[in-house]
Amino acid sequence: MTPTPAIEASDVSLHAGKHCLLAGVSLRANAGERIAIVGANGAGKTTLLRCLLGLATPDSGSICLEGKPATSFKRQDLARMISYVPQQLGSDIPFTVREFVLMSRYTHASGIIPVDHEGHEIARETMRRIGIDHLADRTFATLSGGERQKASIAAALCQHTPVIVLDEPAAHLDPKQRETIQSLLSTIGRKSNTTVITVTHDLNWAAMDFDRMVGMKDGRIVLDAAPNKFMSTENLEQIFDATWDIQPHPQSGCPMIIPSHHRHTATSHD
């Protein structure tokens, strides 16, 4: 028997005036599955995430969570099902990091106590895991872009949803921070059966740590495959209109993009 998907988009289309943003997109993700959505800028990746999150309403098609239409959920119930890490948070958020992370627990609150003792403990442990516990009393105006992104990831994890959606979660981090966050995100679905869907431009990370890669172009999904099938010169040229060298990782054998060597020959003048 085929399991009910954790989240599913069926034949979703969306237009902005005469411009087609999504054209008949279908995507199915099972519990615990990790999916990386890739493609050039303007391919429709973030628009698809917005539809999955209920932040944009498709012109046609449907979004379902655990087999139920997303439109049937109240906003608080939807927030218990799916959490979101945007590309970047602004610096004008009038809260400390602790307050911001704790707000993600409000979806689990009941009665007159907005966040219980367990919620506070979960928030503290999550901030520690992300490496921002020392920032707990800092306001967003005092944080760097990378620190704000870590706080956003901490809040999403603290929300404890079966589905987490991320839009370029490591885009504003330096290499060391990026590796730390990617390593942490790589363990989420494995340990807690959480479904992880992320948009990323880091194809090597997608190939190493995700079950499937979904390639989008011009508002359509043109390829949905396991990384070892997805990562070929021909497939990437179809999706990105660009050619890269693909080589196996020396330890894992995972197909990886390697930089092309462009030799610049200096012209000498007598």
- Quick: pLDDT tens for 136-183: 999 999 998 888 888 999 999 999 999 999 999 887 778 888 888 888
Nearest by Cα to 38 from 198, 256, 235, 233: 198
Express each pLDDT in 116-130 by its tens digit: 788 889 999 999 988
Return the residue matching tokens 């506070």.
120
Express each pLDDT in 68-121 by its tens digit: 999 998 888 898 999 999 888 777 888 999 999 998 888 776 654 567 788 889
Handedness of CA 24, 34, 43, 253 (dihedral sign): negative
N- to C-terminal Cα separation, the chain: 78
Task: Specify burial of residue 246 (Cβ count, 10 A radius: 0-12, 13-18, 19+).
Answer: middle
As a whole-number percent, the residues of the chain with pLDDT over 70 amount to 92
The two tokens of residue 245 are 């060298």
| Listed range (56-65, 236-245, 260-269) with the worst mean pLDDT | 260-269
Contact status, residue 158 vs residue 123, Cβ threshold 8 Å: yes
Which CATH number, 3.40.50.300, 2.30.30.100, 3.40.50.1220, 3.40.50.2020, labels domain 7-258? Answer: 3.40.50.300
